Structures are given as structure tokens and as C-alpha cells.
Amino acid sequence: MSAKATTDADIEGMRRAGRLAASVLEMIGEHVKPGVSTDALNDLCHRYIVDEIDCVPAPLNYTTGRGVPPFPRSICTSVNHVVCHGIPSSKKKLRNGDILNIDVTVIKDGYHGDTSKMFMVGKTQAFAERLVRVTQECLYLGIEAIRPGATLGDIGHAIETHAKAHRFSVVEEFGGHGIGKIFHDDPHVMHYGRPGTGSGIEQGMTFTVEPMLNAGRRHIKILPDRWTVVTRDHKLSAQWEHTILVTRNGAEVLTRRAEEAFGQIAGHAADATA
């Protein structure tokens, strides 16, 4: 079964969770600067999530149940060659030129909102900025492929095609996921694929799109902490993520930030109610 918002209450619950997750990324931006530790960013987000917006940080103590220890922090912070699932640490201080992904998942009234964005620390190099920009474009192109009747392969194909055009590689071991009352649900949303393949997309489905692009080769490895995913060649990696709701004729971006213009992609704003 795929994650699906079947009632108006489900849709409103997912909208609220999505908006609140986005607000965490809006809050933290001004704190991202050289000298700040990723653990300090975690603490600011944790306090905000618990005290200001009255949510539960889904990553904290999250388990995958395969002999992996519970995730020990409230957000993921992935710097430079860290692909995803970086663990905030007081020893990891941001430096001028770093690129950083902050990935936030909040639970509100049982519903999950999951979103991440890239931050540039101080003055970043042009090639790093290009990777970050193209990865965000991949996210948007993937979302634009979403509509009832399209397939998950259409999303992956849109992402893979744009990444390859810029000679970046797509990480294959991790993908987007159904989301709702469950954090990681069916379907698995691959960031590569062939048009018209994979499961059909239906109105009411809620899932994430969260492409990871590498500047070098696609291969990854997992560090002994069992969480941190890094590029094998230690070249840079970038990721952006949104939670979306499939509407009558497109996708509503539930985790949209104020800095993003769209509310609905591939459809009309007037149709934003699913």
C-alpha cells in the first residue's frame, strides 16, 4: 500500500506538518555561518521544533531495525562529501566554502513533513554552487513530472536526464518515499529510471522527492557509525527534498518555503485543493 491522504483531515494534517517542517529550514538559515558546529544547529532546530512549533523531531532515536543504532540527533547535517544522514557533532565546525544539507522531519498530530535544503557557508566555489543549483533543478523537474497517470519512472527519468546533462551522477542506494502517518512508507521513489515504468501515480498519494547528486562518481559508502553516507571518491554531494501531495492534475509542494515561488507545480494554483 502506498501512503495516501484519503480524508480531508489527512490532507490538512499533511499540509500542516509540511508547513511546519519548512519553517524549521526558514528559521535556521541565519545561523549557518563559519565557526558554528553542526551540533549547535541541531540544538537550535530541536528547541524550535519542540518548544516553538510543538512538534516531534522524527529522526531522534529513529530506528531502521537492522542492527543499526538509533539515530542520535533531531536533524541530519551533511557537509561537503557527506551524501546524507550526517550526524550533528560539536566537533564538526562549519568552514568558509562548505556546502551543507540540513534535513528536517517533524511529526505534527501524527503526520510527517520531511524536507531538506542546501546552505552555502561563507563564500563557496563556483563548481560547488553549480552542483547545488543543478540538484535543486533536478528536484523541481522531478516534481514537475508528477500527475495522476504518470509513473514513478517519469520522476526518476526527469532527474537523471538533467543530472547527466550536467555530468553529475545520481546516487542510487537511497530514494524518496511514501510519507504520512509513517515516516518511510511505500512507494520507493527512485531518482533515475525510464519513462512510463514503475508504479502509477494517483491523486492523494503523499511522498518525498529527494535527489542526491555527486560531483564525481555515484558510489557511496557508509561510515562505521552505520548512518553517515559519504561519496567513495570524497567528491562533493548535494541533496534537496520536498514532501508532495498528488493533486487532480499535478503536485502540491507541502514543504514549500517562502523563498520558493510555486505553490502548485504542473497545474493551476486555483486547483491547489486536491
Q: If binding means CB under 5 A, how many residues of this protein chain bind Co ion?
A: 4
| Contact between 107 and 49 (Cβ < 8 Å) | no
**Minimum gap (Å) between residue 244 Cβ and Co ion:** 11
Question: How far is the C-alpha of 89 from the C-alpha of 72, rounded, in Å?
Answer: 10
d(CA 170, CA 160): 7
Question: With CB cut-offs between 5 and 8 Å by kind, which of Co ion, ligand MF3, none does residue 62 bind?
Answer: ligand MF3
**Eight-state DSSP code of residue 42:** H
Smaller CB separation from Co ion, 21 or 158: 21
Q: Which of 209, 274, 269, 255 is nearest to 111 (CA)?
A: 255
**Amino acid type, 259:** E
Cell of 262: 510555486
Contacted by 85, from ligand MF3, Co ion, none: CB < 5 to 8 Å by type: ligand MF3
Binding mask 154-193 for ligand MF3 (x = CB under 6 A): ----------------------------------------
By CB under 6 A, name the one of 10, 98, 114, 160 that touches ligand MF3: 114
Which residues is 209 bridged to in the sheet? 242
Binding-site member from 76, 132, 238, 274 for ligand MF3 (CB under 6 A): 76
> Does position 21 bind ligand MF3 by CB under 6 A?
no
Could you give the C-alpha distances from 205 to 22, 109, 160, 252, in angstroms and in order? 20, 19, 22, 11
Q: Which partner, Co ion, ligand MF3, none, binds residue 59 by CB below 5 to 8 Å per kind?
A: ligand MF3
Interface with ligand MF3 (CB under 6 A)? 59, 62, 71, 76, 85, 103, 105, 114, 208, 210, 227, 241
